[in-house]
Chain A
Amino acid sequence: MFVAMRLVLVLLLVHLGVAARAAEPSTLRISVIPTSVLAPLYAALANGYFKDEGLNVELAPTAGGAIGIPGLVGGSYDIAFSNNVSALSAVAQGIDVQLLAPFPDGAADETAVIARKGEGIKTGRDLNGKVVAVNTNKNVIWLYVREWIRQTGGDLSKITFREVAFPQMLDALKQKQIDAAFEINVFVIAAGKDPALEIVSFPYREVQPQVQPSQFVATRKFIQGNKDKIDRFLRALNRGGEWFDANIGKDELFALVAGFTKLPVDVVRKMNFQPVAKKLELAELDKTMALMKREGLLKADVDTKAMIYTP
């Protein structure tokens, strides 16, 4: 009886999992975070470019990027939205992922260190003895704010890094639980309007102006078994990128971004949209790898050239 019960439970769970994951031959399941940099993807979807390529793209929005690569490995997704640090860490740990396509430039101008106004925090040196908030320790935001602090005279051994979710950072700052925060675009715009706060620096721009922090990734195994599907996906995405570039500053783009991010249109209008990067830059990935090695996130070099997918 016990064995039968277990069998029923396993079958039920397997059925639920398989039913949800079963994919048609032309279906691609993509893990995304509803953030403005994904506008080219949503444009391709809204304009039917994936359909034109015979693809049925299913988006699986998630609240955070942490499950992207585990979701790829577990087979929940075919393609995931991730970042360069997570991808390099994955490859170093033997998870063979490749970067497929870059996103619009602009991270350098939209991601900023915020501090309380009038407290004289202008450089890394001013943060000695202070608390700096990052969304996740030992990931991309943490890596670049540490490098900016180092380059601007800060002593990392005297600075505490505290994990705070992006939506809570500004409140934590105003309540003096932290002294600075490395924030993303929506909250940088909110901080810009807040008289108690000020934008101190754009660490990406200062550390590595052409950095490509976000990419689509997939496992090499999936790419090799589905090369035609991946190439069709990239062609459609490229058309989405062209639509995006042509509509920067226009109402159509604002409406699209407001639709999938659920942000108020007036906030979207203040975003600094930049054209889509033409290709993945090996040199930029190498710079990120060098920073990771310095911080101890990587013990040895990773074959970055092999990480970039070429159709």
Chain B
Amino acid sequence: MQKQLLLGDEAIAQGGIDAGMSGIYAYPGTPSTEITEFVKASKEAKEKNISANWAANEKTAAEAALGMSYAGKRTMTCMKHVGLNVAADPFMNSAITGVNGGMIYVVADDPSMHSSQNEQDSRVFGKFALIPILEPSSQQEAYDMVHYGFDLSEKLGVPVLMRITTRLAHSRSGVQRKNHVKQNDFKLPEDLRQFVLLPSIARKQYKKLLNNQDNFLKESNNSTYNKYINGDDKSLGIIACGLGYNYLMENYPDRKVPNPVVKVSQYPLPVDMINKLYDECDEILVIEDGYPVVEEMLKGPLNKGKKIHGRLDGYIPRDGELNPNIVGEALGFPKTKGEEIPSLVAMRPPSLCKGCSHIDAYLALNEALEPYTKGRVFSDIGCYTLGALPPFESINTCVDMGASITMAKGAADSGMFPAVAVIGDSTFTHSGITGLLDAVNDKSSITVVIVDNFTTAMTGGQPSSALNRIGNICKGLGVEEKHIRVMNPLKKHHEENVKIFKEELEYEGVSVCIPTRECIQTLNRKMRAKAKAKK
């Protein structure tokens, strides 16, 4: 079969389809979104009856995947790095329950924060949960490792974490597919108490996980994805993790590194290879994208052995994504660079689309808030976060999914009035509902603005999980009906919308304003499809 040109994300999706996966569960988040989108759009996946699902959030996604594993089937759950914080509860505990069918957590980190609020390294989480980690260095490895990861998960009886980064997720290359694997038959766990984490059982299960660590290490030492590559120049030994290996190779056009190299793509660290490298070489350089995870492990707090170079001693910058230049300089190569960027080149930040409903919502909200001092609007994660930038400058916070409502509540409880939250429909169902319930129960004086555009817009228009039910959810949570105000964010309704905002800002209790108008991107897409169908 000819190679297919696939994004790293798509390679993982195709890997799942080919490796006997029965279901995939995810909440969209850059750079992980395209994995589930690919499976949802795949004809093969449909023919194979693979269940592809957008969940309300990463936690519900991971738990559904764990349920599928319980039933003996192979399953995947995908999220961005901060999504793993949301799914941390099932993630940590599924390491203790173990799996029945193979289970892979695919987590996409975003070093340099291209589309994120931090650059946390999920390998730390994998180590925390004490499970094996796979870190592919190429699209082909990402594809192959899905097959390998399912086998490994079933062999070792634990979920496996596959850690990728933005660069691999969103880069395209040729991928050679493997033979199809049949899906597992339905099969209950042999021990029906395996998944019952009552303390007495959990203690046993945890010991089992601890005893299993030696096996994980053995797999890493023998893995074909970890390699010891000999080199004559023993003054420096190089450990290159994941994509770091590519940046290393890029600096040697003949692909021959003079120094010994350990390529790491599976954890726990292949200690046998690292030991050999340490013994043979005078100093060590660690090349890893993200946090200095491996570097810290080798150095330890005392740092008394041989010199270990990396992000902690400035050989490589402490933060930000790796690239071939950074790695080249760490290796002592001269800087390469073309001309400077001319000073007239202006910044071009992303902005709300022309015709976006958030624009009208913010213009009305800004006007309604004019009588008060600035700094009262808590917001959230979505396209509307762009309202922090000129010309709107409408919002004052963006922390984590759902934090707008709960932070507004805390500020209101301290006496701040009015306190406003701005949150999107999809973020509201992801993590806002419980916070609103808290506010209702405590009768906190907050005005919640749910900007409802019927979709998860920033990640490309995935479905909103409570489409047309936002108002009813608020009512069900106990928000008074007369303080649930649906509005139409259009220029021609501006005066009316300002008036509604003003009334609710002055209400001492929980009020919810819902500016409701479809995302201009999804609307245009639908119109184009309709026009095409007519032809």
Do chains A and B stick together as partners? Answer: no
